Amino acid sequence: MTDLQFSVLGIEPELFAVTPNLVVRLRIAETSGALVYAVVLNCQIRIEPQRRKYSSDEAAGLRDLFGPRDRWGSTLRTFPWLHTATTVPGFSGSYDATLLIPCTYDFEVTAAKYLHALEHGQGGLVPLVLLFSGTVFTRSGSGIHVERIPWHCEAPYDMPVAVWHALIQQHYPNSGWLRLETDTLKQLARIKAERGLTTLDAAIADLVREHEPGEVAP
């Protein structure tokens, strides 16, 4: 039987990628002395929001996800971010692999909404846990043996919030994405044309200013 242990060495933005991806540097150690022929590795990444504290501004940004702070005792729970997978070549002892995390800035996605609300200054961290599964192929004198990776294999990691913000700034500098209904887009386009504005962003900014506290909408 193999004995695999996993540890995260770091997470960083993938450079020069067309789409936003994070790269996990992962160390896999085999401690029983078996010769690993290959590993088909699956990974579920979860966010554990209950493992950190939040500023007042962060709490305001997270209200849509978890409600007011006085309810967090029941609403602040671990939730899945995404699944990823890779194939690891043969090794003995240990091997440093990489996992690709495809990311989105769509605020309809819970993880993106959560990460956007976090402040990246003062050493802010994102509490993650990586859960592993898959298949291990080992070689011995009698041929190839196949084993399942036990479900208890996991690796916690606190990713700096700055890593996420650097990734988003790299692909969406000073911008973000919102999904709008078709009718809403048509109304925005009409308002944009009527007011002689150049972009839909300017139309939304105009409407927001009209409804700021202390001002009365026409």
The predicted pLDDT at position 1 comes to 78
> Do residues 187 and 120 share a domain?
no
| CATH number of the domain residue 163 falls in | 2.60.40.10
What is the C-alpha to C-alpha distance for residues 207 and 217, in angstroms, rounded to an integer? 9
> Do residues 164 and 206 share a domain?
no
The predicted pLDDT at position 214 comes to 58
Q: What is the domain extent for residue 195? A: 180-218
> Do residues 32 and 128 share a domain?
yes
> Do residues 52 and 119 share a domain?
yes
The predicted pLDDT at position 213 comes to 66
Are the C-beta atoms of residues 187 and 200 closer than 8 Å to each other?
A: no
The predicted pLDDT at position 218 comes to 45
Residues 6+ apart with CB under 8 A from 146: 135, 136, 137
Q: Which of 133, 152, 171 is the last residue of a domain?
A: 171
What is the C-alpha to C-alpha distance for residues 118 and 84, in angstroms, rounded to an integer? 23
The predicted pLDDT at position 203 comes to 87
> Do residues 40 and 82 share a domain?
yes
Report the DSSP beta bridge partners of residue 35.
Answer: 139
What is the C-alpha to C-alpha distance for residues 23 and 27, in angstroms, rounded to an integer? 13
Report residues of the chain scoring pLDDT below 50.
216-218
The predicted pLDDT at position 74 comes to 93
What pTM, to 2 d.p., does this model score?
0.81
> Do residues 109 and 135 share a domain?
yes
> Do residues 57 and 9 share a domain?
yes
> Do residues 38 and 109 share a domain?
yes
> Do residues 99 and 161 share a domain?
yes
Residues 6+ apart with CB under 8 A from 171: 19, 20, 105
> Do residues 128 and 192 share a domain?
no
Number of independent structural domains in the chain: 2
> Do residues 77 and 124 share a domain?
yes
What is the C-alpha to C-alpha distance for residues 215 and 208, in angstroms, rounded to an integer? 10
The predicted pLDDT at position 197 comes to 86
The predicted pLDDT at position 216 comes to 47
> Do residues 28 and 81 share a domain?
yes
- Angle in degrees, CA 69, 74, 79, rounded to 5: 95
Alpha helices in the chain, H assignment, sequence order: 56-61, 63-66, 72-75, 110-117, 161-171, 182-194, 200-210
